[in-house]
Structure 1
């Protein structure tokens, strides 16, 4: 993931397709609800056609939601808002208009924390490009206001938190290991959602 960030930051949107084709990658994001700004890595920024440099320091939440496909935007933003108010996790599969002009399918797994007064405080999660494996022409959205009981979804929360913590220290080996684990959990989570979607279609 660190290598991918470097490639994307140097070459910009033209590298997005090549980067996605070359590896099964996921990106991370962190939403400070008090300021309504989202910080993300370059991959998430380019998937949502947001300037990676702006996303690194924090882009307005609407800069990301405005790039959700118009047919998916209302229900996805409503889902995110509901989960932000209640706390807990959500999974959403939807289309985005990316920096290279291509409409892509993404799977986003987010988790929200509440402050001491029970109000929305922070959201963070991962976004996976699933365009090559998309099997339906209709957006699929599933949510829950509490953490799912499935081990993979609990693991995703812990992996994101661990990776964020390790980024605060200069331990390249630990950072690499946490990136590898986050990638693998993301892949398995995408497979899990694909299985759930197919069952829902039957």
Structure 2
């Protein structure tokens, strides 16, 4: 069952397989309520094993959900719809099954906006590859995936949102060095988010 929590600290292709194996890769997504389609960057696209160009243009949620582990799919979609309907920020974990049989763990955080009538307008968030955390940490390796509805937007999540906006803007600038630094910042934030989640889960297990 999803639960509420207040947090003081708060978005596989061979070409990046080495990176995803070595880092807690962070990707970002945005959702448009009118079309019910989600756009994501290339890192998020590869975590869901979908075509990066199609993901950037926008795909139906079903295209992403198709790669989510069958045991987690219903919970993830219910979480997304409920959070969107109520305007709640959330954090959840789930597994993704790649076409080659590889299974990866993903941590997702999202937030939504509503219009003056209280209807969802859109949402945005991040996904973090936490496979290494889940498979190599003895305390967490067998912990059940969890969903939490948040009561605020602490600093780390605000930093992630700002970094994603900066990365999207810089992506259009013909400066590889600047783009690499923006990318590195996102990776660093992803590692810190994963470490934060590790600390929260350890506390709950004790």
TM-score by length of 1: 0.81
Matched length: 188
**Aligned match of 2:105:** 105
Higher relative contact order (CA 8 A, sep 6+): 2
**Aligned match of 2:141:** 136
- Equivalences for residues 47-62 of structure 1 within 5 A: 47-62=47-62
Tell me which of 167, 170, 175 is aligned to 2:173: 170
Unaligned runs of 5+ in 1: 1-11
Q: 1:175 to 1:18 in 2, by over 3 A?
A: closer
**Aligned match of 1:90:** 90
Q: Structure 1 residue 71 and structure 2 residue 71: aligned?
A: yes
**1:103 Cα deviation from its structure 2 partner:** 1.1
1-structure distance, mates of 2:80, 2:180: 30
- Equivalences for residues 1-202 of structure 1 within 5 A: 13-134=13-134, 135-137=140-142, 138-144=144-150, 146-148=151-153, 150-164=154-168, 166-167=169-170, 170=173, 172=175, 175-202=179-206
- Which segment drifts farther, 91-100 or 59-68? 91-100
Residues 80-121 of structure 1, C-alpha deviation per residue, up to 9 Å, x if partnerless? 111111224211111111244211101111121223432111
**1:16 Cα deviation from its structure 2 partner:** 4.8
